[in-house]
A and B are shown apart, each in its own frame.
Chain A
Amino acid sequence: MQALRYARATSIDEAVRMLREGGETARVLAGGTDVIVQARERRRVIDLFVDIKHIPDVMGMTYDAQRGLTVGAAVPLYQVYGNADVARVYPALRAATHVIGGKAIQGRASLGGNLGNSSPAADSIPAMMALDGVAAIAGPNGRREVHVDAFCTGPGRNVLQPGEFIVSLHFPQPVAHSGNAWERFIPRNEMDIAVVNAACALTLEGDVVTAARVALGAVAPTTIMVPGAAEALVGRRLTDDTIAAAGAAAKEAATPIEDMRGTVKQRKHLSDVLVQRVVRAAAEHARSR
């Protein structure tokens, strides 16, 4: 690893200043489970780490049944999936954070880091997209909000401008009779990278789907929303045929590449299978609440 500087920010403004002054080669350091590995393997030129873990807003987590859930960008994942409200209301988020790395990784890794790294295969991003998460961003020009589904712009690329970073992630409170779920396919049972991952959040009125959001990972240059799958569900009774139509739409929407982790055929097929599985699981969650 090359020599680099480390700076600890204790306020949002200080972090913004440090990042701006650091320029191109400054990076936010959250858990470091991506960025330290990248620095060691010289996949990125980094001169400055700005550690944000000492900024209170970035480390807090709040939930209330009116306003929903807000998670500080650097809150370690074990606190996210270990939270009872997350488990009850946002099982998609619980499931996705629970499988990232192993115990050691989860003690450090964060939602902000998973999103900031902007990998097309990131596990928590489809869950955050399905839950209509919103990233609160601070920067040299003040604050702004960006929906997670509009955050990533390419592999490892996103909307953040120089000096900007994510302060927290907000998830609205789901309306009554809503449910959500997340699943991934990996060849191993843990410590693996998603061949495909998928998430769904939906709302039921009786048997009829009144709202749905479906997201997929590892099948395009970024994690993607699958509006076609949502359209196949909304306004329809949740029958096997409806679910199959949502799966087919996901398969259609997936534009994966072939690499050592999977083939095009396999990834398109798994998009179908996993979307069907998360739709069923989300419906089950909706009915159980």
Chain B
Amino acid sequence: MIKLENISKSFGDKQVLNNISSVFEKGKTNLIIGQSGSGKTVLLKSIIGLHQIDEGNIYYDNREFSRMSEKKKKDIRKEIGMVFQGGALFDSATVEENVGFPLEMFTDMSDEEKKERVNFCLSKVNLENVNHLYPAEISGGMQKRVAIARAISLNPKYLFCDEPNSGLDPRTAIVIDQLIKELTVEFNMTTVINTHDMNSVIEIGDKILYIYKGEKWWEGTNDEILYTDNKELNDFIFASDLMRKFKKSQL
């Protein structure tokens, strides 16, 4: 479980996050949604400590994170898996080396054990026979999946994904969503996902946090979101004709 308490963050005199509080439960896929520029990435990076927050507290299972010493933060980071918006795979390393990197760095596994673990993680994301290819040699969707495999290689308690299915075709996007959802349940992780994909919202939104201009504007589940009367949220979710039709059919 991750708890945010009154998080604020500004860059210079530009306030990006304003007093955000929420709770992300274990075994659930928690979504952060909002328009481009609303502060989703900044929020995610603040939670994992890539940005230092100005005010507030962040608890990882009751351990206050933002004011920890670097050394203790490092221990928590080993429990975190992160899938970056662009994948952030190491270009000079093969798929296998990418997924095995955290194992190499932080465990004393033998080469055999590492190989087994790498193949296990790759099989979890339905990737086979790509072990020796470089990131530039595989498709964008495959890169995302490798990034997910790398993120789960150390059996993280917390999984963060920044727009895991942006830039993918709808079918692959759904596959990635389902994959993250399944892994979350299977390994009982606390998963936090940034997205502006409405499909994801409806399909895997166990909990949804809507950020509007750096503030928490609404939170709830994917069932509740259809019936919300919050104007900004409605404008955001039901911006497309398709979504409006979908809403009508559901009511």
Please determine whether chains A and B interact with each other in the same assembly: no
A-to-B contact residues, CB < 8 Å: none
- Chain B positions within 8 Å of A, measured between CB atoms, are none
